Structure 1
Amino acid sequence: MSFRALIVDDEQISRRIIHTFLRDEPAIEVVGEAANGTEAVLQILQLRPDLVFLDVQMPELDGFEVLREVWPYHQPFVVFTTAYDAYALRAFEVSATDYLLKPFDRLRFQQAVERVKKPLAQRRDAEAIPTLLPLPAAVGPPAPGFLQRLLVKEQRRLFFVKSADILYFEADRNYISVHTAVHTHLIYQSLTQLESQLAPQDFTRISRSCIVGLNHIVELETYFNGEYLVKLLNGEMLKWTRNYRANLASFHGRQ
């Protein structure tokens, strides 16, 4: 029985040390490395490793932010590796299996690996986790917890789109088109679920199938039967249906 591991650290020498130590662990297969937080998120979601050796302080996203991004989609076991002991308590609050303080030797590393093998085997024996666990509070998003970025996939590429750049979302059956000024991306999610994750001061629902970014509205024009035409900064026109007229307060409150 072998398990897939990802090494995440912005220092090449640290990645090399962990990789070298893992050569003595036939049960652990290294499937990739990442040198910053964003790359770590993409690698975790693409490779879906069983185990991640995760640094805390990194460019772009720190280790806890990485977990916050991937947790709704994939939940690997985590061994934190860092030069700072100040994060130890927070690491175990997010259910880390171990916390390796740099510089660690081969013996200490082997202890961490042995500690994670049992829960890895138990998860494998169970074949699958029925439901994703809730994100531990210690890595939860800062209040109020609304999406600042959206992870999208195009072919084999995964990348982030800032919420502030999104003009509107448009639902089509089980998919949502994410419209920015320059691109349109597809995500698989319900509009109702997405709506609950968006900041109400920045987004509001204007119809059964559309959520608009309030910052991108130029003007509203009265239409038939209590409906409105919504003109966006890029010139596009949307319809604000009367079933969602109550949400007009979101727009008027910005004036």
Structure 2
Amino acid sequence: MILTALIADDELIARQLIKSYLSDAPHIQIVGEASNGSDAVLQTIQHKPNLLFLDVQMPELNGFEALKELWPHHQPYVVFVTAYDKYALKAFEVNAIDYLLKPFDEERFRQAIDRVVSRIGPQPPSELTSLLNELLRDKADERETYLKRMLVKDGRRMSFVKLSDVLYLHSDSNYITLQTRQQGHIVYESLTLLEQRLDPSTFVRINRSYIINLDYVVEVETYFNGEYHVKMTNGQVLKWTRFYRDNIKAFYAKKE
């Protein structure tokens, strides 16, 4: 059985070392390399490797953040790679997952490979999924974090849209349009669930169908029956309904 692997590490030397060690493993085929967290997510979703060597400290997205992005789309076996022993958590000491503490030698690398390959199957075992879910929850609890980007798909191409570039989010049935100054991007998501993952100091729900980015609001004008008209920088005028009028406080707090 030929297994596929992807190497995600911002250090070229580290990627070359892993490639060198894998050259003696004919049953493992390298399908891609990534030097930052965002690229690691995109390539993992694109190539769907069985095995992911994932550096913890990377630019754009760290290893844990990258894993949170890709996990709903593809769930590979993961070997974490880190230069900091504080990330070598005891929780990794299960047969389904491993870590490599830099600098590691070939013997330690072989142990990690043997450990994962001995358990590999069509899907990661339930203990790996549970462990990673718990790990991601723990990392999220360390500080309050909000979405900074979203993965969008256009045909066979995938890319990230920075939420700081989004003027507003518009829900229509079972999909949401992320509207930037240049274009709209479609994602299949619930607006209510997505709202919980957005920074409330920047993104505010103004009616059942719209969440706006306060950074792109030109003015708010009072309307009839306790409602408001919101003018965005692209000229779009949206209605801030009475049901959500308490959220107007966020607008004034943003302007102070």
TM class by shorter chain equals: 0.7 to 0.9
Residues 49, 140 of structure 1: alpha-carbon distance in 2 compared, 3 angstrom cutoff: farther
Q: Name the SS of the counterpart of 2:57 in structure 1.
A: coil
Once the two structures are TM-superposed, the CA of residue 59 in structure 1 deviates from its matched residue by: 3.1
Contact 2:203 2:211 in 1 (8 A): yes
Alpha-carbon distance in 2 for matches of 1:35, 1:20: 17
Larger CA deviation: 7-16 vs 210-219: 7-16
Q: Distance in 1 between matches of 2:210 and 2:19?
A: 47
Equivalent pair of 1:57/1:82 in contact (CA under 8 Å): yes
Q: Give the number of aligned pairs.
A: 252
Alignment correspondent of 1:121: 121
Distance 2:220 2:71 in 1: 39
- Match of 1:182, SS state, is coil
Match of 2:48 in 1: 48
Match of 2:226 in 1: 226
Counterparts in 2 of 1:1-255, with a 5 A limit? 1-89=1-89, 92=92, 97-121=97-121, 123=123, 133=133, 136-140=136-140, 143-255=143-255
* Distance in structure 2 (CA, Å) of the matches to 1:104 and 1:76: 22
Separation in structure 1 between the aligned mates of residue 216 and residue 95 of structure 2, nearest angstrom: 40
Report the AA paired with residue 246 of structure 1: D
Distance 1:173 1:36, change over 3 A: same
Provide, for residues 55-86 of structure 1, a one-character-per-residue CA deviation record: whole Å limited to 9, x for no partner.
23333333233223323433322112344434
Bigger Cα displacement from structure 2, 134-143 vs 11-20:
134-143
SS in 2 for 1:136: helix
Distance 1:81 1:247 in 2: 43
* Residues 152, 158 of structure 2: 8 Å contact kept: yes
Contact 2:8 2:33 in 1 (8 A): yes
- Alpha-carbon separation, structure 1, partners of 2:125 and 2:71: 21
Q: Which has the higher mean CA deviation after the structures are superposed, 167-176 or 64-73?
A: 64-73
SS in 1 for 2:147: coil
SS in 2 for 1:243: helix
Given that 1:79 and 1:96 are in contact with CA atoms closer than 8 Å, whether structure 2 keeps it comes out as no
Partner SS state of residue 207, structure 1:
coil
Output the amino acid matched with 1:77: Y
Once the 2 structures are TM-superposed, how far is the Cα of residue 210 of structure 1 from its aligned partner? 0.8
Query: What SS does structure 2 have at the residue aligned with 1:73?
Result: coil
Instruction: Report the 3-state secondary structure (helix = DSSP H, G, I; strand = E; otherwise coil) of the residue aligned with 1:46.
Output: helix
Residue 39 to residue 204, structure 1, CA distance change in 2 (3 Å): same
Deviations 1:113-140 (A, max 9, x none): 11112332273689xx89x945533432
Cα separation, partners in 2 of 1:25 and 1:108, compared to 1, 3 Å: same
Specify the SS of the correspondent of 1:74. coil
Cα distance in 2 for partners of 1:58, 1:203 equals: 27
- Mapped partners of 2:90, 2:168: distance in 1: 36
Structure 2 portions without partners, runs of 5+: none
Identity %: 53
- 2:120 match: secondary structure: helix
Q: Secondary structure at the match of 1:186?
A: strand
* Residue 253 of structure 1: how far off its partner (Å): 3.7
Q: Would the aligned equivalents of 1:94 and 1:139 in 2 still touch at CA under 8 Å?
A: no
Backbone CA RMSD of aligned residues: 3.1
Query: Residue by residue, what CA displacement relative to the aligned partner does 1:205-227 show, whole Å, maximum 9, x if unpaired?
Result: 11111111122212222334433
TM-aligned CA deviation for residue 88 of structure 1: 1.6
SS for the counterpart of 2:254 is coil
